[in-house]
Amino acid sequence: MGSEKVIEEKKQGQALLTENKSGNHKKLYIESYGCQMNLNDTEIVASILSTEGYNTTHLLEDADLVLVNTCSIREKAEQTVRKRLEKYNAVKKINPTMKVGVLGCMAERLKAKFLEEEKIVDLVVGPDAYRDLPNLLQEVNAGRDAVNVILSKEETYGDVSPVRLNSNGVSAFVSITRGCDNMCTFCVVPFTRGRERSRDPKSILEEIKELVDSNYKEITLLGQNVDSYLWYGGGLKKDFKNASEIAKATAVDFAQLLDLAATEFPQTRFRFSTSNPQDMSLNVIHTMAKHDNICKYIHLPVQSGSTSVLQRMNRQHTREEYMELIDNIRNIIPECSLSQDMIAGFCGETEEEHQDTLSLMEYVKYDFGFMFAYSERPGTPAEKRMEDDVPNADKKRRLNEIIQLQQKHGLYRMEQFIGKTVEVLIEGTSKKSDAHWKGRNSQNAVVIFPKGDEQVGDFINVLVENCTSATLLGKRA
């Protein structure tokens, strides 16, 4: 199914490189598809394999081991990976000793079936089993198939320092939760990534310190649902109710974690993703308002503007409750930017319900958006209980209407910056021009301006003079 994003192509499927250890002789080609969490997991895998003698290579033909971290969120994401496997197959003909492993959500969803369906695959490893990779590789090298797709109650990889793959040296991701308990009916994530658990704030702060010491300037805290973060000494979120009174009294929630991080590292910019409307508390919004170094941007997926569709999706809020949350954000942080995820053509969606989505968008006027046509996923509650009955042509047309409207709103939001001065963290050279820097402001808008004597990693004030629907253009103020 078609999917469309108005801003920023996520880095997809290219060989990821690390700084290589001199003693390592085996070559790993590793690539990552899907969400930022997958990219972060890929960094964890590279770290685990680095201690097993593997250096990364960007030449597929040279690899002893090829690993692909996969995404199952939509059918198209899975098809992309299948195509890559064909490519590996062609290379294996030249390099027959090469081993191929599948990681991530497709590994978890398909399990050992993968080995039957795709002869090229030697190794299948789910998102909670990466620590087992060294053992699994031994199995593979002994000529046996290797599968570990056990989901864990505890695994957070809290003590693994991810090697920063393909990083710009300025911004980095830190995972704070794993899994998701929400069971949105369309979503495969609860099945591929397991139950929700949070990571010890101590290990989160330690990882941030390492990054800050290595000169990183911006940290994005990652989780499927960051607002649901809750540390009470370990264990699943769903078991919190059985925790001891002391554990309950000393628990750390997301607002407190944000406050801890922003206070301890006042020179570092913080972002977070993703927020879930049903779990986002006023405390989080107040904490954002309190700290200059927490970026004024919230990715707040809503999926639909219709209460009846939200109900079928098992989202735990109504259209009106979402609007109230938006009003609260606007009151507490007037300059906050907002982005959405939308699904067009979910099961049973009527034209009227689709119009509700457009009118909600009119109400919020999102700065950015990530929009998708509904793609039925095997094993999800929607697949089991509902009919994927919106004709493809209607899905596409509705998706297009949503995208068109988002583009209009994006442009409107960007225009509001013209004539204003914004603080930009320089991330690197603009893709389109060597003579220009690219960075982002607090609201996550990409800002392009002519190079002077600045450096990557500098915070610079830029006067915005012009814009497109997703980019600000300006000059140093």
Total of chain residues touching ligand F3S, rule CB under 6 A: 10
Q: What is the DSSP string of 127-146?
A: TT-GGGHHHHHHHHHTT--E
Task: Give the one entry of ligand F3S, ligand SAH, none that residue 377 binds, where binding means its C-beta sits below a cut-off of 5 to 8 angstroms depending on kind.
Answer: ligand SAH
CA distance 296 to 338: 9
Strands 146-148 and 99-104: unpaired
Q: Give residue for tokens 């002519």.
A: 450
Contact 372, 395 (CB under 8 A): no
When binding is defined by CB under 6 A, the residue of 32, 175, 182, 441 that contacts ligand F3S is 182
Min separation Cβ 337 and ligand SAH, Å: 17
Task: Give the one entry of ligand SAH, ligand F3S, none that residue 374 binds, where binding means its C-beta sits below a cut-off of 5 to 8 angstroms depending on kind.
Answer: ligand SAH
Q: First CA to last CA across the chain, in angstroms?
A: 44
| Closest CA relative to residue 225, chosen from 184, 178, 163, 265 | 178
Give the nearer residue to ligand SAH in terms of CB position, either 2 or 234.
2
Helix, coil or strand: residue 170: coil
When binding is defined by CB under 6 A, the residue of 190, 194, 223, 457 that contacts ligand F3S is 190
The reply to whether 189 sits near ligand F3S by the rule CB under 6 A is yes
Task: Give the one entry of ligand SAH, ligand F3S, none that residue 190 binds, where binding means its C-beta sits below a cut-off of 5 to 8 angstroms depending on kind.
Answer: ligand F3S
Task: Give the one entry of ligand F3S, ligand SAH, none that residue 443 binds, where binding means its C-beta sits below a cut-off of 5 to 8 angstroms depending on kind.
Answer: none
What angle do the packed helices 319-332 and 282-290 form, to 10 degrees? 20
Give the nearer residue to ligand SAH in terms of CB position, either 32 or 430.
32
Helix, coil or strand: residue 233: coil
Residue span binding ligand F3S (CB under 6 A) among the ranges 185-193, 394-402, 425-433, 449-457? 185-193
Structure tokens at 42: 């890929």
Min separation Cβ 369 and ligand SAH, Å: 10
| DSSP bridge partners of 273 | 222
What part of residues 205-264 is at the interface with ligand F3S (CB under 6 A)? 224-225
Contact 427, 458 (CB under 8 A): no
State whether the Cα torsion 132-149-241-177 is positive or negative: positive
Q: Which residues bind ligand SAH (CB under 6 A)?
A: 73-74, 186-187, 189, 224-225, 274, 301, 303, 341, 343, 372, 374-375, 377
Min separation Cβ 341 and ligand F3S, Å: 8
Site residues, ligand F3S (CB under 6 A): 180, 182-184, 187, 189-190, 224-225, 276
